Structure 1
Amino acid sequence: MNIGNWINPFRAAEGPPPQTLGAFLRWCLSGAWPVLWLAALLSAAAGVMEAGTALILGRVIDATVSAGPEAFFDGRNLALILGAVGFFLILRPILFALSSASNAIMVQPNVNPLVLSRLHRWTLGQNVGFFDDDFAGRIAQKQMQAARAVTDIASELINVVAFALASLLGSLALLVAIDWRVAVGFLVWLVLYFAVINWFLPRVRKRSAGRAGARAMVSGQVVDTITNIKTVKLFAHADHEDRAALGAMQTFRERALEFGYLAAGFRLTLMTLAGLLPVVLLGGTILLWQRGMASEGDIVAAGAVAIRIALMTGWVSFTLMAIYSNVGEVEDGMKTLTPRVRLEDGPDAKSLDMVQGRIEMRDLGFAYGREAGGVERIDLTVEPGEKLGIVGASGAGKSTLVSLLLRLYDAEQGQILIDDLDVRRATQESLRRNIGMVTQETAMFNRSARDNILYGRPDATEAEVVAAAERAEAHGFIQELEDHRGRRGYEAHLGERGVKLSGGQRQRIALARAILKDAPILVLDEATSALDSEVEAAIQTALTRVMEGKTVLAIAHRLSTLTEMDRIIVMDQGRIVETGNHEALLAENGLYARYWQRQSGGFLNVKAAE
């Protein structure tokens, strides 16, 4: 029986994460509650042992005083001696070991991946606008921060709070058994103790949230700088980035100081209260003993309880402060991660299977929630197997059109259909599975060259990977790759975002990925823009083969790459203003013809065209 497996650490959560603290914590920990309650019960049982320790010490002292030094070990005290030995050597160690094991084996190793996997899974489902509006480093930091904080809250509530409450209740029962007046003194002290906690902890929580937010901004700023380190160096802006980072660090320092002052005051107040408790309990029990109303053992028991609780007060106060700090961090992470910035599959969404590749856009409009920009009034039909070129100046709406086709955004007006099915009624996974894409800004993972190509079709064989690379003119340079750990060829890692490759090399690996995917619809967004003329000629031959039988949408500024398209549309200010093949558009002597005439070296001179 492996108790480490009693919580499934990767169990999916039901529904979206709530946006109120209590409900959010329940969502994070759902499925783990039976084990958490068991761990809390074991911790409480260990906590009761504290009162048991004082009780047994008191009984032993009373028996010692009553029997005298010569007679203590005679048969009359045998049961008490065996009971005390069994308590201290067997029962107490076993309960403490079980409590520790439940937290260290069942709870902590499983709750963190449980919460982190749920937050990460939810974050992956957010739409691209969510990631465009924030630092990548900050989002990652919030996931890690919230998962760690929830784990610490669960662990400390079990390890400390359950233990401490059981200790307090057990101690109260023991003091009632000694004398109700001593118990009343203890209750008054408890009221003061919880009043202090009630005043401080909400403030600790608030300042902790401010500190967590400032810390995440430091991470976001630093990651943003490091991610763009080449740009920083090329523009000689190290000092500028240093000032920006120092500004974020200064804000974090100020929030940390605010938290530190409050934490110091909290500790001072609780330590003063902790010092008061032995005075109350020991002093009260000694007064009762003087009047013959308490025994020497009662003094020892009350003293043991007072000292233990006084020591525990510091431990508990530190833990409660940490718990409330973590609550603040959870709230901060919750505010960042839980908003529903996503496109969901509808309940009746269908899988796109056996796609022929017919694309139809009807009265399509999208402006990113603004009054202008994006595309408007787009009516376009692309037949299966047709090769469509898309031309336009920057900001004309070309990439927006592709983003709507891929359903990275939902159209604000009109609709897009693939094989007569509205893309909003198709599952997003099946939609994107049927569209291969190569972009101008090619995304690479810091994984091996093989893994990056396999992303197109993870179940492909080694021979298929190599064949795809050969068709994309990538096999040659891949064989020459070597990373900093000595891995070569297809095993070599490409660095974050493929920084170890040239732009042309990245695009050839992206082409290999798209070739391997072999989707019925192919989107080329400046797919050869980073290639030199010699490599581009070879790639064009490969692309011609790859495009056979596929519906192709090709965006290009280099108009020479579109001359063999079946049809070309020209976009301007979000609308289609011209359509036809290359020859027809030149004969029309419109915007396309002006672009063609003003090209230099095969590239579209956007400023001149405008």
Structure 2
Amino acid sequence: MSADTSSGAPARLPLHRALLRLVPFAKKDLPRIALGGLSALGASVVALLIPTALEWIVGGPIASGMTSAVVWGALAVLGLGLLEAVMVYLRRWLVLAPATAIEYNVRASFYNRLQKLPIEFHDRWQGGQLLSRMMQDIGLIRRWMAFGFIMLVVNCLTVVIGSVLLFQWHWLLGAIFVVSGIPLWIQGYRFHNAYSLLTRRSQDQQGDLATSVEESVHGIRVLKAFGRGPHALSRFTTQAEGLRGTEMRKAREIAVVDFVLVLMPELAFAACLATGIWLTADGQVEISQLFAFFAMATILRWPIESIGFLFSFMLDARTATDRIFEVFDAVDTITDPVSPVSIERPRGALAFENAHFRYQDAREHERDLLDGIDLALEPGETMALVGLTGSGKTTLTTLPTRLYDVTAGRVSLDGVDVREMSLVELRTHIATAFEDATLFSASVRENVLLGRDDLDLFSEEADRVMREALAVAQADFVEELPDGAATMIGEEGMSLSGGQRQRLALARAVAARPKVLVMDDPLSALDVNTEERVQTELKRVLAGTTALVVAHRPSTVALADRVALLENGRIAAVGTHHELMATSPSYRSVISSFEADEREAERVRRDPNPTSELDILAGTVHADDADEEGAR
């Protein structure tokens, strides 16, 4: 999704309330940040004392010709300058550690939130949008808290204090300087309204751009195979141009406010200079006072000119905060019950009882994708689930572990509704092996033992469990890898073949030693002989484990104890393979389609150079690849 259109964010909070949402993450670090702010304010106050010292030097020693006293005055100014430098150093030292600690707290909480949010959330959000929030937006908040927030407050206070001090030399000079600031407030109000919209658009576009890069990198093989690199570049260029246009508009807005922030002090200087000369000639102001006034006004120039940059920085931080809290505020629909039920000795009886499910984006008039599933698996039984493409088989496999929750009815384990169990315990008892074998940038050992946090990764027991799981999955290729089980797998395991990835993913599920194993056609990339060996080993090692297997091959179906036919959102028939072949025309039709697909795939394997586009598709696209999309 693009966050600016589909995030479902609530109405924008006022600026101060939006930024105050960061306080819980910064609570324990606020004292040091406050001390850093006081140090910065102290540095500004010391700087404002320098014009008073200069007034004394010009009006006293210089006017009277006492050169020895000038030295003392110069030393006093030097001392004030050194004190200011120390205060600036203290400010940096005090705020650096707290700001990075806050960044860590926000980032860790954000990642934890992403892990807890349900799959339906991740279905709606683009990975690049989440990545840009995780890295760019949180980093921006850290820089703002370490510098922008403190300096905006301090510089505003400096301008107020300095403007008040200007009145000590002559009220008219002070009034001219203060009145010249009114256009700054008017321009600031206009800038806030325009820049707030632009900075939100810019940060959302950066997220979209990150998504395009992520998709292109992950899909680089497809882009190269189909020669679509130029198309991807054109799409990326269009998005980049859109971002560039937004950044240019932001730059123009900043340029306008900076122009006003620089122009008005210059006009004020000119007006004060003309008025000061007249007042001096009239005897109302001494030269030393006029000199001190302009020294003070000069010191105030940077705080005034910096307000535009710091204010835009604050608006960027506010937008980043909004974007981060859109994720924090997302509703987590799959949570632990208040009083979880625990199963001490699970038997593995899995049952779907009048289970209904529909995706959140389904139209009202559409029937449920799963429209009253009734299916019971006995402990230790292997049941194959078959059905035509789009029947909802893959969706059904997501319900036992609560990747999605049923919209009606229930799924139970040993008679206990899975929603009454804690997610940790539930996913300890039930493991899933997906057709799309996702591996992580880690060693083979770490990938296989991902579900065994109860084991020391390098213990003898862990080594035994890993090797047994690899043997079951027929993953003997691991021994031939450069570093064996210690070999690092590249991103998403793309350095391995499809069959190798599937076998490691299956080994991961086996190593978890669940009471129920749900497999969404996890062996589709294996040849028939290897699949049969894997099935035999699974029955041996996981004896007593209940298995629900989505099948797209007649050979897989034949190895199951029973078979369930999913048709029109319901279980149309249940029985052994031979019973259903004898009694169910629909089942025979499904099996016939499997056999036809298998014959076509074998024909293409024998002919490595298909001549037609239809042949290419028949050899590379399996019905199971489209199962989820068809279901939706």
Please classify the TM superposition score into its range, dividing by the shorter chain length: 0.7 to 0.9
Matching residue's letter, 1:564: L
Matching residue's letter, 2:420: R
Q: Is the 8 A contact 2:431 2:517 kept in 1?
A: yes
Q: Is the 8 A contact 1:156 1:319 kept in 2?
A: no
Q: 1: distance between equivalents of 2:491 and 2:17? A: 37
Q: Deviation at 1:577?
A: 0.4
For normalisation by structure 1, the TM-score amounts to: 0.88
Matched, 1:273 2:270: no
The 3 A distance-change label for structure 1 pair 471 and 98 is same
Q: Is the 8 A contact 1:45 1:166 kept in 2?
A: no
The 3 A distance-change label for structure 1 pair 105 and 55 is farther
Q: Is the 8 A contact 2:358 2:369 kept in 1?
A: yes
Matching residue's letter, 2:431: G
Q: Which residue of 1 aligns with 2:306?
A: 315
- Map Cα deviations across residues 93-144 of structure 1 (whole Å, 9 max, x no partner): 321211121233332x223222222222222222212222232122211222
Matching residue's letter, 1:302: F
Counterpart secondary structure, 2:399 = helix
For normalisation by structure 2, the TM-score amounts to: 0.85
Q: Deviation at 1:305?
A: 1.5
Q: 2: distance between equivalents of 1:121 and 1:22? A: 26
Match of 1:591 among 586, 591, 604: 586
Matching residue's letter, 1:143: M
Match of 1:99 among 86, 91, 96: 91
Q: Is the 8 A contact 1:356 1:520 kept in 2?
A: yes
Matched, 1:364 2:352: no
The 3 A distance-change label for structure 1 pair 183 and 464 is farther
Q: Which residue of 2 aligns with 1:224?
A: 215
Equivalences for 1:99-248 in 2 at 5 Å? Answer: 99-107=91-99, 109-248=100-239
Q: Deviation at 1:553?
A: 0.9
The 3 A distance-change label for structure 1 pair 82 and 425 is same
Q: 1: distance between equivalents of 2:12 and 2:309? A: 28
Counterpart secondary structure, 1:178 = coil
Counterpart secondary structure, 1:53 = helix
Q: Deviation at 1:414?
A: 0.9
Q: Is the 8 A contact 2:474 2:530 kept in 1?
A: no
Q: Which residue of 2 aligns with 1:38?
A: 35
Q: 2: distance between equivalents of 1:266 and 1:594? A: 72
Equivalences for 1:483-522 in 2 at 5 Å? Answer: 488-522=483-517
Counterpart secondary structure, 2:232 = helix
The 3 A distance-change label for structure 1 pair 221 and 82 is closer
Counterpart secondary structure, 2:221 = helix
- Map Cα deviations across residues 338-365 of structure 1 (whole Å, 9 max, x no partner): 4326423233344554322222222111
Match of 2:81 among 88, 92, 95: 88
Q: Is the 8 A contact 1:404 1:410 kept in 2?
A: yes
The 3 A distance-change label for structure 1 pair 33 and 353 is farther
Q: Is the 8 A contact 1:407 1:423 kept in 2?
A: yes
Counterpart secondary structure, 1:72 = helix
Q: Which residue of 2 aligns with 1:429?
A: 424
The 3 A distance-change label for structure 1 pair 122 and 115 is same
Q: 1: distance between equivalents of 2:116 and 2:228? A: 35
Counterpart secondary structure, 2:303 = helix
Q: Is the 8 A contact 2:357 2:370 kept in 1?
A: yes
Q: 1: distance between equivalents of 2:184 and 2:594? A: 79
Q: Is the 8 A contact 2:449 2:508 kept in 1?
A: yes
Q: 2: distance between equivalents of 1:437 and 1:239? A: 38
Q: 1: distance between equivalents of 2:514 and 2:11? A: 37
The 3 A distance-change label for structure 1 pair 367 and 85 is closer
Q: Which residue of 2 aligns with 1:62?
A: 59
- Map Cα deviations across residues 379-422 of structure 1 (whole Å, 9 max, x no partner): 22222222222111121121221112121122111111222222
The 3 A distance-change label for structure 1 pair 473 and 410 is closer
Equivalences for 1:508-547 in 2 at 5 Å? Answer: 508-547=503-542
The 3 A distance-change label for structure 1 pair 436 and 469 is same
Q: Deviation at 1:475?
A: 5.2
Q: 2: distance between equivalents of 1:442 and 1:159? A: 48
Q: Deviation at 1:594?
A: 3.3
Match of 1:26 among 20, 24, 34: 20
Instruction: Count matched residues.
Output: 582
Counterpart secondary structure, 1:437 = strand
Q: 2: distance between equivalents of 1:564 and 1:466? A: 25
Q: Is the 8 A contact 1:277 1:310 kept in 2?
A: no
Q: 2: distance between equivalents of 1:56 and 1:169? A: 20
Q: 2: distance between equivalents of 1:81 and 1:233? A: 71
Q: 2: distance between equivalents of 1:18 and 1:517? A: 44
The 3 A distance-change label for structure 1 pair 596 and 332 is closer
Q: Is the 8 A contact 2:475 2:503 kept in 1?
A: no
Q: Deviation at 1:603?
A: 4.1
The 3 A distance-change label for structure 1 pair 480 and 59 is farther
Q: Deviation at 1:47?
A: 1.9
Matching residue's letter, 2:476: G
Q: Which residue of 1 aligns with 2:46?
A: 49
RMSD, aligned CA:
2.8
Q: 1: distance between equivalents of 2:372 and 2:185? A: 65
Q: Deviation at 1:85?
A: 4.8
Q: Deviation at 1:599?
A: 3.9
Q: Is the 8 A contact 1:569 1:579 kept in 2?
A: yes
- Map Cα deviations across residues 573-599 of structure 1 (whole Å, 9 max, x no partner): 211001012222222143223333454
The 3 A distance-change label for structure 1 pair 604 and 34 is farther
Q: Which residue of 2 aligns with 1:11?
A: none
Q: 2: distance between equivalents of 1:274 and 1:479? A: 74
Matching residue's letter, 1:579: V
Q: Which moved more, 1:440-449 or 1:294-303?
A: 294-303
Matched, 1:447 2:442: yes
The 3 A distance-change label for structure 1 pair 480 and 549 is same
Q: Which moved more, 1:18-27 or 1:215-224?
A: 18-27
Counterpart secondary structure, 1:57 = helix
Matching residue's letter, 1:277: A
Moved over 6 A (4+): 16-19, 604-607
Q: 2: distance between equivalents of 1:305 and 1:598? A: 87
Q: Is the 8 A contact 1:46 1:96 kept in 2?
A: yes
Counterpart secondary structure, 2:22 = helix
Note the residue ranges of structure 2 that are not aligned, 5 or more in a row: 1-8, 601-621, 624-629
- Map Cα deviations across residues 532-581 of structure 1 (whole Å, 9 max, x no partner): 23422331222112331112111111132232323211111211001012
Match of 2:372 among 342, 353, 377: 377
Q: Which moved more, 1:413-422 or 1:586-595?
A: 586-595
